Structure 1
């Protein structure tokens, strides 16, 4: 994918990884449309990069349509879609059924709805690139938070399916799986009044370095340009993933020990 001169849409761009990706793509020559449910925050992102802003819920079909309509009206097409919006959800098993529905919508169905909207156009053109911002939790797991772990596993699975189904038809797919990134989401976990949520945050920060969102964004831009699927801001995740597959029982026992060590 040639980034200079492309048109990119990024969800969850009001802060954190989404904002950093928007800045990086704009710097690389993309015309950028940014979306977020937090109108003031995403307007700041757009002002920083000279992009267009659409405030709304990227988990809804209407929210996706609003972003794509803005891009088509201003630039005539969409070349890159970065499905970045995500939430942490409840801790433990997640007692609230509505909260389960919400995190499935944001962390999974948002990707599906976006892909359903852009893939037909890209198939006609024979080009396009879809970025799923998932998590190392989607390759490994997330201690203390079943909803987050389950939806990130599903997001990775959907990205794999997209690549297998359309990778020979001109459509690139990248799946971003970081561990700790210095974002409002991770800080909120660390400062949560809920003990299980704080433990979940501690499991992330103690497993490896907490990296800056700009570092993640640089890798994402490179992956789009190179057509790389798996983006690992923490390279050690690949070692952990291989250990998991090599001996699942041992890995599960080790994760239980790790959880116990965190209290």
Structure 2
């Protein structure tokens, strides 16, 4: 007898393919989760990645129309519990299974829409709203999966999850600074002329990111065991990337894209595995 199971599994596979092709680091971290978490986390990433592609790379197409249609299709899929778009099918399955709040998805689309129109963020409040919608809510969606839809547990861990999402996003801002300024003409740090970023301004940004990392770490240690190791690896990877950024000058940051070599990623993974076995991180 034919069932929808094959379509569902194929849809999750499409989201996994997007994850693997677009983010080797994130897809590697997902492998460290309990197997039951793989499909729903791929479902979230595939959805997020498609929206990012609309605003960041579809330059010769009507981005606003595409984003508006994608948003409508997303909520239609969630409400009807079906979509012919495999990425939206896997996302709606995740949203409905783990009771992911629609307000998180709305906030995400608000930030994606900002990327269509805004080139710079002039106040900290404006940037905070953008980071919440573009990164923190993604962490909250994943947290709902990690907690298996347990609202109370997710609520308790939400502050750490938002801090982690903010830290990751701000590190991405610094890592992609040269490309954002040159190709997208975007400036994410209010009241700072990034074209002539000073050492003291760079250090102020880095101090803010350090606080986000600190707030996130305690929450990671309280995550359910099936998710903790994978999130910790992602944390360590981004913290290593952050340390590399801190070690270079503003001029270097404006002329190159910092990355963590594959061998360093492997050493980080080994270090964390050994730490877990010895009872410390």
Q: TM-score, normalised by structure 2?
A: 0.30
Q: TM-score, normalised by structure 1?
A: 0.31
Higher helix fraction (1 or 2): 2
Higher strand fraction (1 or 2): 1
